Amino acid sequence: MTTLAHDMATLTRNALTVLQPGFTGTSAPDWLLRRLGEGLASVGLFGRNIASPEQLAALTAQLRAERDDVLVAIDEEGGDVTRLEVRGGSSFPGNLALGAVDDTGLTHAVARELGRRLAACGVNLNWAPSADVNSNPDNPVIGVRSFGATPQLVARHTAAWIEGLQGAGVAACTKHFPGHGDTAVDSHHALPRIDADPDTLAVRELVPFRAAVAAGTKAVMSAHILLPALDPALPATLSPAALHGLLRAPVADGGLGFDGLIVTDGIEMRAVADAYGIARGSVLAIAAGADAICVGGGLADEDTVLRLRDALVTAVTDGRLPEARLADAAARVRALGEWAKTAGGPDAARRIAPAPEVGLTAARRALRITPADGAPAYRPPTGPVFVAALTPVAGIAVGDETPWGVAAELSRLLPGTTTAAHGPEDIAARGASAVVTQMLDAAADRRIVAVVRDVHRHDWMAGVLDALLAARPDTVVVEMGVPQAPPGGALHIATRGAARVCGRAAAEVITGVTADVTTGVITGNEAGH
């Protein structure tokens, strides 16, 4: 009986260890602290948990007082996906902007400064970077989160980003293996399918992940995507062929030879949860080779943690999950916690010189500015403008709580500037012509600045923009998504992302603060478009 009790205690501890749960609130609830004492080794933070750097530092200190090797994870890509600056917008441009500049030294510097800020707040695991090759421009979930559409470009910037982040003592978790770029479905909502053959996967999707492994990424996040070339039945997160047979397998056997921590994407995402449920999905993921279950984007309570813990224990006791596999997964989690305990934290942050302007510098360099062909030279406005924001529905990864656009920065530079936002529901209910008429009436004789995001993916947005440009050819267009559509307007500015610094860089150009566009000079690097 003593041996059995000891075994059950070990199983229970190991089952808790492989979970990376979220929670609600800006301080740790009692149940979370109690479970840390029982074996829980990781905690996931989201925008709901963060009010300020000082509050975040206090929260992580609270967690670390209970367990000094706890992994405190966050989804902080910079750019459109930010948790650290969820209410104000990121101080760093995202991957597409960095890939467009194509300066790996700049990418390294941006990631290092982002890592310094995370480390100063006590965060030691970042579910980033995205190493997906955005080969499908209609991709609804990756887009500007990718460094670009070229495997080698994505690979070199993925490596630079990892090295910059981990140089600040924050573990990188490269995602979304084996590559979410060639999808037209968001795995938050349904199961995407990629029908690429093995040769295509090898020279496209896998190139950046091989570079990530070579750069020493501490973790890799699996994707909830179906790739029949690897496994005709199971999504990658649940597939032994993808995780054990490809990611873990030795290079000599055609694998990537990765020996670090494998983390699942959010197990509550519908691509897994709808078909398998989160409890069975967690068991299948650990059995397939995953080491940690990310859960808590939408499920963030003690009951969920206990349900997954008990499902893993039961799976071992009834023979569906080898005990050694669960023990190995838990050991990998603890090993990364030990690395982070010595490599990161506020002490590591203090050893790095702050670079507060590096994000804005990168955003400025990433701009592509295109004056209209044959139009009079652009002259910046001297008074307030009217901002017409055409706003698509935000993806779950980005969230709808983070502000974006240029209105705030233009209002700062041109007091009296006003704005109106219109989304697909408004256009469907009222019609494009009525909305455009309203815009024109509101603008009166002021310059109009139209702000769009991935206009090539949204017919309603393209229709409104075309009608607006027909009525007011002097309109300035700011594209804050993937600049796939042809430029239009008196001046077209592609920011390659919607971070706060991208909005500021665009506003500076519109008002003539930092760029001379009257000569028709094109600024920004074309690479990665």
Would you please indicate which residues are annotated as catalytic (active-site) residues? 188, 265
**How many angstroms separate the CA atoms of 228 and 326, rounded?**
27
- Which residue spans within 409-469 are E strands per DSSP? 418-422, 448-452
**Cβ contact 220:174 at 8 Å:** yes
Any residues with CB less than 8 A from the CB of 438 and at least 6 apart, and which? 420
Q: Which residues of 371-391 are buried (b: 16+ CB within 10 A; e: fewer)?
A: bbeeeeebebbeebbbbbbbb
| Residue pair 170/120 in contact by the 8 Å Cβ criterion | no
Q: Which residues share a beta bridge with 42?
A: 71
The span from the CA of 41 to the CA of 124, in Å, is 12
Nearest alpha-carbon partner for 219 in 349, 298, 329? 329
Dump strand ranges (E) for 77-223: 125-126, 171-177, 219-222
Burial class for 47, CB neighbours closer than 10 Å (0-12, 13-18, 19+): middle
Contacts of 525 (CB under 8 A, 6+ apart): 100, 101, 102, 365, 366, 368
Q: Read off the amino acid at residue 28.
A: A
Residues 6+ apart with CB under 8 A from 235: 191, 223, 224, 225, 226, 271, 272
422 φ, ψ to 5°? -135, 130
Phi, psi of 375 (to 5 degrees): -90, 160
